[in-house]
Amino acid sequence: MHAYTKKHRTVVRSLFALSVMIPLLHGGASADPPSGSIRFGICADVHKDIMHDADQRLDAFVDRMNQRKVDFVIQLGDFCRPYAHNDGFMAVWNSFDGPRYHVLGNHDTDGGFTREQTVAYWKMPAKYYAFEKGGFRFIVLDGNDKTDPPQSGYARHIGAEQQRWLRRELENTSLPTVIFSHQSLEDRGGVANGEAIRKILENANQAAGRKKVIACFSGHHHIDYSRKINGIHYIQINSMSYFWVGGDYQHIRYSKEIDRDFPWIKYTVPYRDPLFALVTLGSDGTIQIDGTQSEWVGPSPWDIGYPRDRKDRIVPHISTRRLEAAVR
């Protein structure tokens, strides 16, 4: 791995400038936030340990959010493992001039690491936690709890102890609340007990007599998607880097040298430019998401025969959306 330098930063900003800046300038949000709102930058699934240019992608995000002076940034997991050679990547993240928050992803413990080791490396307060900003409560969940007996594959569960904590958090706040998780709480491949977690959120709204929980943001699925269930928005933030297609559709996208050093990239269809979003939460409950646009590197998933059943969601962009959610 090469150390991340000022020279790299200068080069990547010239490469990514147009593709990153134009969508956010014309996504429907003004340069200054409206009164009573809060703005944050959000990204997901950077996959430092797969992508050869993950540092540069992350720097484009951090630089843009510094320019926009957002209130905080958050990444939704599958970020990086706690290797010493990832210190430069973490330095890029820490160059954001404001609060920075993390969500644990299922791949952030690959290689035999524990969640506790990744939490310590990222300097998270805990595996799951909450914070307040600008009149909103934000709750970060950990969807990687184990079950007994264990699930096959990666753990994707929110256990009883975390559920009790979530109920207390919701009972003890009167603020409009936003949930962050890695795995979706509503997608079939997300948190396995997502229905039970959604019920906790819906019960909190019912007890409050209003929409206390207004939205849930997740990553993990590498798709662009939003739906509303019983008054709560569930928004999937696309990967910053790629869509995973697997071994049946592998294709060398960059060069033989990059493929040699980063052998997992050929199992993906990367996005030419980094994908991320700027989110504005209004005090009236509106949610403005200003996304970014890109293109596939090399042939699209459909050009190599990938199934087309989710073609409208498997896209090289994050959509700009305006969602309504009454908080009173």
pLDDT tens-digit readout, 266-322: 999 999 999 999 999 998 889 999 999 999 999 999 999 999 988 999 999 999 999
DSSP string, 211-235: -SEEEEEE-SS---EEEEETTEEEE
Of the candidates 257, 265, 269, the one whose C-alpha atom is nearest the C-alpha of residue 298 is: 269
Where is average pLDDT lowest: 66-70, 112-116, 148-152? 148-152
**Is the pLDDT score of 11 beyond 70?**
no
% of the chain beyond a pLDDT of 70: 88
Mean pLDDT of 18-32: 42
Single-letter residue type at 66 = N
> Sorting pLDDT into bands at 50, 70 and 90, what band is 239?
very high
How many Å apart are CA 106 and CA 187, to the nearest integer?
Answer: 16
Model confidence at 17: pLDDT above 70:
no
Q: Which of 147-156, 179-188, 192-201, 247-256 has the lowest mean pLDDT?
A: 147-156
- Return the pLDDT at 24: 52
User: Residue 2: is its pLDDT beyond 50?
Assistant: no
Residue 28, pLDDT > 50, answer no
Asked if the model's pLDDT at residue 90 lies above 60, the reply is yes
Q: Are strands 277-281 and 38-43 parallel, antiparallel or unpaired?
A: antiparallel
* Average pLDDT of the chain, as a whole number: 90
Sequence-ordered list of residues with C-beta below 8 angstroms from that of 244, at least 6 positions apart, any chain: 222, 267, 268
d(CA 110, CA 279): 30
Residue with structure tokens 């430069």? Answer: 88
- What is the mean predicted confidence (pLDDT) over 131-147? 95
String of DSSP letters for 243-285: EE--GGG----S-HHHHHHSTTGGGEEEBSS---EEEEE-TTS
Neighbours of 290 (CB within 10 A): 23
| Residues above pLDDT 90, as percent of the chain | 81
Amino acid letter, residue 196: A
Query: Quick check: 25 pLDDT over 90?
Result: no
List Cα–Cα distances, 195 to 110, 154, 186, 198, 200, in angstroms.
27, 19, 7, 5, 9
Torsion angles phi and psi, residue 223, rounded to 5:
-135, 165
Whole-angstrom distance, CA of residue 235 vs CA of residue 42 = 12
CATH topology of domain 6-323: Purple Acid Phosphatase; chain A, domain 2 (3.60.21)
pLDDT at residue 229 above 80? yes
Query: Per the structure block, which two tokens stand in for 86?
Result: 């990832």
Q: pLDDT value at position 149?
A: 85
Catalogue the E-assigned strands of the chain: 38-43, 72-75, 100-102, 129-133, 136-140, 177-180, 213-218, 225-229, 232-236, 242-244, 268-270, 277-281, 287-290, 321-323
156-195 pLDDT, tens digit each = 999 999 999 999 999 999 999 999 999 999 988 999 999 9
pLDDT of residue 16: 52
Ranges 20-24, 59-63, 187-191, most confident: 59-63
First to last CA, the chain: 51
Q: Is the peptide bond before 149 cis (omega within 30 degrees of 0)?
A: yes
The CA distances from residue 138 to 40, 223, 265, 268, 291, in Å, are: 12, 23, 33, 32, 21
Half-sphere exposure at residue 143, Cβ-oriented, CA atoms within 13 angstroms: 31
Model confidence at 324, pLDDT cuts 50, 70, 90, reads: confident
Encode pLDDT of 201-213 as tens digits: 999 999 999 889 9
pLDDT in tens, 39-58: 999 999 999 999 999 999 99
pLDDT at position 7, please?
A: 44
Instruction: Say whether pLDDT at 13 is over 60.
Output: no
